[in-house]
Amino acid sequence: MALPTIVVPKKLLKNKSALQGFFDNHQLERVNDAFCTVIGKVDVDIKLESEDKDRILLSGTVSCELELVCQRCLNSFSYPLEIGMQTMLVDEDSMINKKTSFDDWPILGDELNLLNLIQDEILLGLPTAPTCETACSENGIMPSNGEIQRSECNPFEVLRQLKKDINNT
């Protein structure tokens, strides 16, 4: 089921409804840019619980597949993203001096821009310097232990090996 952009959490809570469905990739305008493209749909599965009269806890998962540009080799690669989210919806006044272990998300009035919230979750879940680890490590640029192997190679040893190869052909 396609999810609405705007929801009314208090109403959903009253009807014991969950937020289960999807957004289409083209809706995620803030996530899609030159270095990141959402592939297919973004699946959302969130339940709502009442904490107290001013606070509603949203918890569940947001999952999607992204196409990112590798910061090392500039090739694009597929990046599955699954975010476990726990967000507390709070009326702005009640936020003050109430520390929770959840991300607080102020809502103005009764409406929540669900699409914005989901986009924030994805943007926060993105790696800061995405690298296509498999392909890059195959090329020797980034071995799986994270250290740069190239600097450990003796360039003269490489030349010697090259010369040997040429002589053998």
Contacts to Zn ion by CB under 5 A? 70, 72-73, 132, 136
Residue 133: CB minimum distance to Zn ion, A: 8
**DSSP string of 125-159?**
HS-SS---HHHHHHTTSS-TTSS-SGGGS-HHHHH
What does the block give as tokens for 51?
């904490």
Q: Which is nearer to Zn ion, 58 or 68 (CB)?
A: 68
What does the block give as tokens for 135?
């392909």
Residue 64: CB minimum distance to Zn ion, A: 21
What are the E-state strand segments in the chain? Answer: 6-7, 19-24, 36-52, 55-69, 76-91, 103-107, 112-113
Residue 38: CB minimum distance to Zn ion, A: 20
Q: Which of 79, 66, 64 is nearest to 36 (CA)?
A: 66
Enter the DSSP assignment of 18: -
Residue 83: CB minimum distance to Zn ion, A: 23
